[in-house]
Amino acid sequence: MSIPPLGAALAPVHQRYLLEARQMQALSFAVHIPLVCFGIAFPAMVLFLEWLHLRTGDPLYRTLARRWSRIVLALFAVGVITGTILSFEMGLLWPNFTATFGSVFGLGFAIEGFSFFMEAIFIGIYAYGWDRMSPRAHWLSGIPIVITGFTGSLMVISVNAWMNHPGGFALHAGHVVDVDPLRALFGNPYLWSELIHMYIAGYMVTGFLVAGCYAFGRLRGNRIPPTRYQRVALTIPLTIACVAAPVQVLVGDWVARDVAVDQPIKLAAIEGLYPTTRGASEHLLGWYTDGQIKDGIAIPHLLSLLAYHSWDARVQGLDTVPAAQRPPINVVRFAFQTMVGIGTLLALLGIAYLVIRIRRRPLPDSRWVNGALVLAGPAATVALIAGWVTTEVGRQPWVVYRVMPTADAVTGAGGIPVGYGTLVVTYLAVGAGLVWVLRRLARAPLSEREATLPGAAGATPQGP
Amino acid sequence: MLQTLPLVFVLVGLVLYTVLAGADFGAGIWRLVSDRGTRGQALREHANHSMGPVWEANHVWLIFVLTVTWTAYPSFFGSVASTLAVALFLAGVGIILRGAGYALRSGVRSDRELALIDGAFAVASLITPFALGAAAGGIAAERVPVGNAAGDLFASWTGPVSILAGVLAVVFSAYLAAVYLAADAAREHPELVEPFRRRALAAGLAAGAVAAAGLGVLHADAHSLYAGLLSRGALACVIVSALAGAATLGFVIVGRFEAARYGAGLAVAGVIAGWAIARYPTLLPGLSVHRAAAGHDTLVTLIVAVVAGGALLFPALGLLFSLTLRGRLAPGESTPEPIRAARPLGGAVRARLAVALLIVGIGMLNAASAPWAHAVGVVSLFAFMIVAFASLVPAALADEG
Ligand code: HDD
Ligand code: HEM
Ligand code: HEM
């Protein structure tokens, strides 16, 4: 297959620091994406608590919802600024990508802008309106936050899915013509698997991280039996994450089959498959060198079976494209295996918890259980980033798959290392500040009125 | 017409961003210049409280401007962003620090921590409007050519017009903030009205002086823009702007702050509209609106999306501002709420349904491969998650209780 040269809107330039530009982009994402998981999933959890309060009148739920809503607000603020940086980078790092294809994918971000607008407005109303609105109106003001968390991720993912599986435009003499933005963004089969996978990841990351905070509190203070406050605060996010984790494996299988169809080279990189093979084996672990996997565990026929549901299906190998059109194999492979490994472990954890709950046993309050819960949150976050590394690095060297190389998209401006360094320092400072403020919010004593509520006593030092 | 309408959206977004986010930047700047004593403290607290609920929404206008620009005029956006990269990056860092300031302030306990955070916040509040103003000045003075980083990375935004525009953005932000905070103080802290009124007057006079001096700078540094401003409809806009500027000061003197804010908004709108009319249809040297504009379908969809989005957005914004202006979102005493009698949570385990949904989901999503089957599979799996959650959690909570 030959690809017609693309007449980019601005002349492509040679950029010495392309790698740094890519890393700067990767850093900005790695910071933004865990935060947006909280934007996606946390409001729903807070609303569920508040709904419990409205139904039962039990003030404990309200206390907890109120405390969590402060965390939503703080994390949203950081999500907004990291997202703004990403928008800037579309121009600062990749001006030629935006200049050439802005008319194709830009609409997604424009609609996303409105979605965030609504989210920001209603988060403001919700978080500052606790004492000032009727309980029902206050609860209702939280609903748009849940909806916009979904639509916001829908719009962003529609752009990313388009970059992975471009359509909705034609190239005429190398120029982008006949643009149909709706088809480009929403008529794309690739969108749906990516969106669902990311959306569930948001609930897993948030659920395990929040539950982990309370499990950590138990680890430190487990001489006293857990208060009801602590148990409620642990149960709700943990149940959500544990229900989502097994489903995520099923959805991941669907994503992988979409990749096999639309981006065979990415699949080959994920699997480290050099020669095109019938009945290809799946390799666990190991390292890719010289066209094969060293020290891995081979499971015959499994790859053909998983990717195409057939014992002898032909799987396209890396040999079908020139070396310059292959992504960095080991990065992609390692990231993928990390995600799948963690995903499998978390699914097992989820199933174990569900079995315990179905039999109506209490969750053991042991060091091992609490330790596992503390680790699950960071592990889910690592899987999240690893998944995005698989997607984005696996797409290289293309920014728009098989249409525009990343090297043609990059800015001609100098000073990328300076900007990169500045961003690293800034994010480190903000990260340190964020950890500090979350710990402060977690330790803040319940207000006097809250502390006198039944069930809240003793809840103070062990978690938010 | 079709090709110009998105430009109008961008300019309206720019006016709203300048007025709304400007007040927010200004509130940060005033923290820098208010004294250390308890009164300075009260001023700073007031600035923080009254901006808290609205700053994020104000800020999204910038996102709106960026996204509409790169959708409707992609090559214009690429040229501007790559040449003005340094100024925009500075603004970006300022935005990070400011947002972090809001987030961090909620955890503060000692005065020293507060001073540190407020200091960083205030410096960032200076940098961001200055850098954005300077970038706009660079475009106005035709220092941004078409191309991938084709202009000078520094000279493009450090010329006289840029410095002028940057300073004007800072002073004007301080003015807007003082007006806004004075109006807001009238409700709960009457003793703070007078200090903010005096600040508003000083900043307003300064903004007027900078703007007047600006005409001279334009004459020398951007003569074609200067000539454009004195011709056609542009002159009318400039005159409206000047009159509105004078009127808004008058409103401040007599203490009618709400009217003063609208006057200030009109003054900004006049300047931006005048600039646009003077330059129309040129965006950058050699790049007209018509050449930069995206194709027909993109523009139509974009316009529909913006109009539909606006129809949702403005009522919501109205709600937020009316709640804030009426002080409904200020921290305060809680109204005790009616507690209804506890009802037991329905908690019958719908295990069979959940298992059935799970099996259907796996079959449709993982075994089948038709798109419709995948859709059914996803819906089943989501239903499974909801049913499982709904049957496990109430029981768990009941056990805990
Ligand atoms: C909590 C996070 C998490 C977990 C446990 C998993 N994933 Fe994942 N995965 C993601 C979070 C994620 C992600 C970060 O959300 C990605 C990046 C892009 C996307 O759509 O989702 C992703 C991407 C991604 C891709 C690449 C898609 C592309 O290139 O467009 C594949 C093939 C899989 N996943 C497959 C799986 C499988 C088979 C899993 C089973 C164990 C799995 N994922 C668990
Ligand atoms: C629309 C949504 C997009 C999403 C959700 C997305 C997601 C991501 C993520 C999560 C990473 C981080 C990988 C890591 O941590 O190493 C990444 C890296 C990257 N992204 Fe994207 N991206 C998007 C759009 C873009 C755009 C617009 C560009 C540029 C034109 C781009 C180019 C890159 C590049 C070059 C990397 C670095 C790859 C590397 O390190 O080799 N992506 N992206
Ligand atoms: C995995 C991909 C992404 C997802 C799921 C996602 C989702 C979200 C969500 C839910 C928010 C709301 C803020 C919060 O709750 O913290 C947000 C904020 C934001 N995101 Fe992302 N985003 C992604 C990637 C991107 C990319 C690629 C860009 C731009 C190039 C971007 C730009 C923004 C902006 C500008 C905001 C701030 C909006 C505001 O001011 O309210 N995001 N994102």
Q: Tell me the mean pLDDT in the region B70-97.
A: 89
Q: Which atom of ligand 3 is nearest to the CA of A90?
A: 30
Task: Answer yes or no: are the C-beta atoms of B216 and B226 closer than 8 Å.
Answer: no
Number of H helices, E strands in chain A: 15, 10
In 3D space, the residue among B141, B139, B133, B127 whose CA is nearest the CA of residue B83 turns out to be B139
Query: Which residues in chain B have Cβ-Cβ distances shorter than 8 Å to A233?
Result: none
Q: Which of A1-10, A96-105, A344-353 has the highest mean pLDDT?
A: A344-353
Please check the confidence at residue A462 and state whether its pLDDT lies above 90: no
Query: Which residues are paired to A315 by β-bridges?
Result: A277
Query: Residue B366 and residue A90: Cβ atoms within 8 Å?
Result: no
- A218-223 CB contacts, 8 Å cutoff, 24+ apart: A218/A365, A218/A370, A218/A462, A219/A367, A219/A370, A219/A371, A219/A374, A220/A462, A221/A461, A221/A462, A222/A365, A222/A367, A222/A370
Does residue A393 have its Cβ closer than 6 Å to ligand 2?
yes
Q: Tell me the mean pLDDT in the region A176-198.
A: 83
The identity of residue B139, as a single letter, is I
Mutate-to-test residue for ligand 2 from A6, A24, A29, A198, highest number of ligand atoms within 8 A of CB: A29
Higher pLDDT, residue A443 or B197: B197
Please check the confidence at residue A133 and state whether its pLDDT lies above 90: no
Instruction: Give DSSP secondary structure letters for A250-273.
Output: HHHHHHHHHHHHH-HHHHHHHHT-
Q: How far is the CA of A367 from the centre of ligand 3 (A)?
A: 37
What are the pLDDT digits (tens) for B130-152?
A: 999 999 888 888 888 887 877 78
Query: Which residues in chain A have Cβ-Cβ distances shorter than 8 Å to B62?
Result: 84
Predicted ipTM of the assembly: 0.84
What are the pLDDT digits (tens) for A309-319?
A: 666 777 777 77
Q: Which residue has the tokens 């913006």?
A: B306
Which ligand is in closest contact with the Cα of A19?
A: 2
- The rounded mean pLDDT for chain B is 80
Instruction: Give DSSP secondary structure letters for B270-282.
Output: HHHHHHHHHHTTE
Please check the confidence at residue A457 and state whether its pLDDT lies above 50: no
Q: Is A177 on the interface with B (CB under 8 A)?
A: yes
Alpha-carbon distance values, A307 to A281, A377, B33, B348, B358 (Å): 11, 29, 64, 39, 22
Please check the confidence at residue A453 and state whether its pLDDT lies above 60: no
Q: How far is the CA of B235 from the centre of ligand 2 (A)?
A: 46
Task: Answer yes or no: are the C-beta atoms of B386 and A347 closer than 8 Å.
Answer: no
Q: How many CB pairs under 8 A join A and B?
A: 350
Higher pLDDT, residue A239 or A73: A239
Question: pLDDT grade, residue A98 (50/70/90)?
Answer: confident
Which pLDDT score, from 0 to 100, does residue B260 have? 84
Q: Tell me the mean pLDDT in the region A341-365.
A: 87
What are the pLDDT digits (tens) for B296-354?
A: 888 888 888 888 888 888 888 888 877 765 655 555 444 445 444 444 444 445 677 88
Task: Answer yes or no: are the C-beta atoms of A131 and B332 closer than 8 Å.
Answer: yes
Q: Which amino acid residue places its CA nearest to atom 32 of ligand 1? A: A256
Query: Residue A232 and residue B95: Cβ atoms within 8 Å?
Result: no
Higher pLDDT, residue B192 or A44: A44
Alpha-carbon distance values, A248 to A5, A258, A386 (Å): 39, 15, 15
How is chain A split into domains, by residue range? 18-276+316-451
Question: pLDDT grade, residue A455 (50/70/90)?
Answer: very low
Helix (H) or strand (E) holding B291: helix B289-292
The whole-angstrom distance between A298's CA and the closest CA on chain B is 23
Does residue A207 have its Cβ closer than 6 Å to ligand 1?
no
Q: Tell me the mean pLDDT in the region A406-432.
A: 84
Question: pLDDT grade, residue A435 (50/70/90)?
Answer: confident
Q: For residue A323, with 0-12 CB atoms within 10 Å meaning exposed, 13-18 middle and 19 or more buried, which class applies?
A: exposed
Mutate-to-test residue for ligand 2 from A6, A97, A382, A392, highest number of ligand atoms within 8 A of CB: A392
Residue A316's contacts (CB-CB under 8 Å, 6 or more residues apart) are: A264, A265, A267, A268, A276
Please check the confidence at residue A387 and state whether its pLDDT lies above 90: yes
What are the pLDDT digits (tens) for A264-289?
A: 888 888 877 667 777 666 777 777 66
The HSE-up count of residue A366 (CA atoms within 13 Å, CB side) is 6
Does residue A206 have its Cβ closer than 6 Å to ligand 2?
no
Does residue A92 have its Cβ closer than 6 Å to ligand 2?
no
From chain A residues 145-164, the ones with a CB under 8 A of any chain B CB are none
Residue B295 has φ and ψ, to the nearest 5°, of -70, 170
Please check the confidence at residue A380 and state whether its pLDDT lies above 90: yes
Which pLDDT score, from 0 to 100, does residue A460 have? 35
> Rounded CA gap, A244 and B280, in Å?
54
Mutate-to-test residue for ligand 1 from A391, A396, A398, A401, highest number of ligand atoms within 8 A of CB: A391
> Rounded CA gap, B223 and B282, in Å?
15
Please check the confidence at residue A381 and state whether its pLDDT lies above 90: yes
Q: Which of A9, A73, A196 shows the shortest C-beta gap to B75? A: A9
Please check the confidence at residue A300 and state whether its pLDDT lies above 90: no
The whole-angstrom distance between B32's CA and the closest CA on chain A is 21
Task: Answer yes or no: are the C-beta atoms of A51 and A154 closer than 8 Å.
Answer: no
Which pLDDT score, from 0 to 100, does residue A383 have? 96
Give the angle A451-A453-A459 at the CA atoms, nearest 5°.
Answer: 50
Q: Which of B54, B56, B76, B365 to mutate to test the interface with A (most CBs of A within 10 A)?
A: B56
Residue A152's contacts (CB-CB under 8 Å, 6 or more residues apart) are: A36, A39, A112, A115, A116, A119
Q: Which of B95, B351, B366 shows the shortest C-beta gap to A84? A: B95
> Rounded CA gap, B215 and A435, in Å?
49
Please check the confidence at residue B388 and state whether its pLDDT lies above 80: yes
- The rounded mean pLDDT for chain A is 82
Higher pLDDT, residue A127 or B90: B90
Q: Which of B153, B334, B393 shows the shortest C-beta gap to A413? A: B153
Lowest mean pLDDT segment, chosen from A186-200, B122-136, B277-291: B277-291
Q: How far is the CA of A33 from the centre of ligand 3 (A)?
A: 8
Lowest mean pLDDT segment, chosen from A107-121, B29-43, B303-317, B377-391: B29-43
The whole-angstrom distance between A389's CA and the closest CA on chain B is 24
Query: Which residues in chain A have Cβ-Cβ distances shorter than 8 Å to B100?
Result: 77-78, 81, 429-430, 433-434
Residue A72's contacts (CB-CB under 8 Å, 6 or more residues apart) are: A38, A42, A43, A46, A123, A127
